[in-house]
Amino acid sequence: MCGRYALGRPHAAIYRGLRGRYNAPVIEWVGEDRFQPRFNIAPRSQAPVLRRRESAPQDDSERSIELVLHTMRWGLVPHWSKHDDQNLKTINARAENLIEGGGTRMWNSIKGKKRCAIVCDGYYEWLVKGRERLPHFTKLESGELILLAGLYDSVLLEGQTQPLWTYTIVTTNACKSFAWLHDRQPAILSTPAALHAWLDTSSHKWSSQLSRLLDPYADDQHPLTCYQVPKEVGKTGNESATFVEPIKERKDGIQAMFARQQSRVSSPSPYASPEKRKREPTPDITEQKSISKKAKIQKVNAWEDVSEIDYVDDPVKPIKQAQGCEITPKTDNSAMKTNTSENDTDVEIIDAPSRGTAISTSGFRPKEPSVSSATSSPSKRSRPAEKPSQASSRKTLNAESPGKITSYFAKAP
């Protein structure tokens, strides 16, 4: 069967193709504005057919110039119909039903006087492989127009003011070279003589000569070609000029994409640099982490000389009095004074010298311990008992003169 075909060339090209290839000059196109070039013509679509003018004279000398194009709807509706029955399966008519002496009422009433030729670039057929259906496009190798044998009819339906013109495509057995694709194919009128014989309806009768025109295609002078096309053509709403192109040659197909990639690899761009710039190796993340850790360790250990460092316990809260010392403000001549009433906000108290920590030498003066003050103030915490060695050293230190004590702390680091 034939369920889809294409006619994508402009109107002017259709005129030229009919006049040049088939010697069929067209004097009129009825409903030309209702047809737009399409590559996916489906049933119930509007498309042009070539027919003879019904009121034409029967003189043979004028028969060749009485052809008209007529835009009709695909899917024949018989002339006795009152309603448009969408359940009719009349997009194709089998050639076996048109043979002389056979056929049904529908075909017998029109096959003698309402024959036409469907104009197309080629037709689609689906190859069945298991559950897959692969569309193929068949056309002439020369790329010229193809004319398919057909029948047409007109009917005035109830409630309508204009007649409805419809047509059907005649199918026959597939030729041997295309039997692999499908067992049926459209009946093709490949020569001007076959076209004019098919369109000659002057006798209003069917003849054996017309039956021979419906034989499987066997014109070696005008061979056909067939190739696979994209599956998108299977949907009637789709429309694209690429539907009639082989999949391997499509510019937007997968094969074309791989071909472009292969060409880029085989033929590099002339603008490319002869030598590629070598990329520097990126250091490992673990190495970066180890380097950063080493840098931190070096930063911590960078202060090796502690001779000038003061170790402060709490620099935010300065203390007025240290253990065994009293605080005096700093002076320009570095003299030690025992004035405890002065403002001591700039003085930092670190720790008693007995604990072995470094303190600032300015603003500190040792104070002699007082037994009465230690015993009389219960609020102060009593110091734990010291060892004899520590006690003797403290007494020796307190027994020294203030001047010697000052010089002692001045030498301290």
pLDDT digits (tens, 9 = 90+) for 231-282: 999 998 899 999 999 988 776 555 556 666 676 666 555 545 455 555 655 5
pLDDT of residue 91 exceeding 80: yes
Q: What integer is the mean pLDDT of 159-187?
A: 93
**Residue bearing the bigger pLDDT, 22 or 359:** 22
pLDDT of residue 309 exceeding 50: no
Residue percentage of the chain with pLDDT more than 90: 47
Output the pLDDT for position 248: 81
> What is the pairing mode between strands 164-173 and 146-155?
antiparallel
**What's the CA dihedral at 32, 224, 258, 241 to 10 degrees?**
0
Output the pLDDT for position 239: 94
Q: What integer is the mean pLDDT of 299-323?
A: 46
**Whole-number Cα distances in Å, 350 to 321, 361, 391, 406, 408:** 10, 11, 21, 17, 17
To the query of whether residue 125 is one of the catalytic residues in this protein, the response is: yes
Under DSSP, is residue 287 helix (H, G, I), strand (E, B) or coil? helix
pLDDT of residue 312 exceeding 80: no
pLDDT of residue 36 exceeding 70: yes
Q: Where are the beta strands (DSSP E) in 230-351?
A: 325-327
**Which amino acid makes up residue 364?**
F
Residue ranges of the domains in the chain? Answer: 5-256, 310-374+391-413
Output the pLDDT for position 88: 87
Output the pLDDT for position 192: 95
pLDDT of residue 375 exceeding 90: no
DSSP notation for 261-276: HHHHHHS--TTS-SSP
Annotated active-site residue in 2, 116, 120, 226: 2
Under DSSP, is residue 136 helix (H, G, I), strand (E, B) or coil? strand
Residue range 5-256 in CATH 3.90.1170.50: no
Output the pLDDT for position 106: 87
Output the pLDDT for position 360: 45
To the query of whether residue 2 is one of the catalytic residues in this protein, the response is: yes
**Whole-number Cα distances in Å, 107 to 44, 64, 207, 338:** 19, 26, 14, 137
Range ranked top by mean pLDDT from 35-44, 86-95, 368-377: 35-44
What is the separation of C-alpha 10 from the centre of its chain, rounded to a whole number of angstroms? 33
d(CA 21, CA 52): 18
65 CB neighbour count, 10 Å cutoff:
12
Output the pLDDT for position 166: 97
pLDDT of residue 227 exceeding 80: yes
Annotated active-site residue in 66, 125, 226, 245: 125
Output the pLDDT for position 277: 55
Residue 385 — pLDDT band, cuts 50, 70, 90? low
Q: Mean of the per-residue pLDDT values for the chain?
A: 75
In degrees rounded to 5, what are phi and psi of residue 332? -70, -40
pLDDT of residue 10 exceeding 80: yes
pLDDT of residue 33 exceeding 60: yes
Q: What integer is the mean pLDDT of 282-301?
A: 49
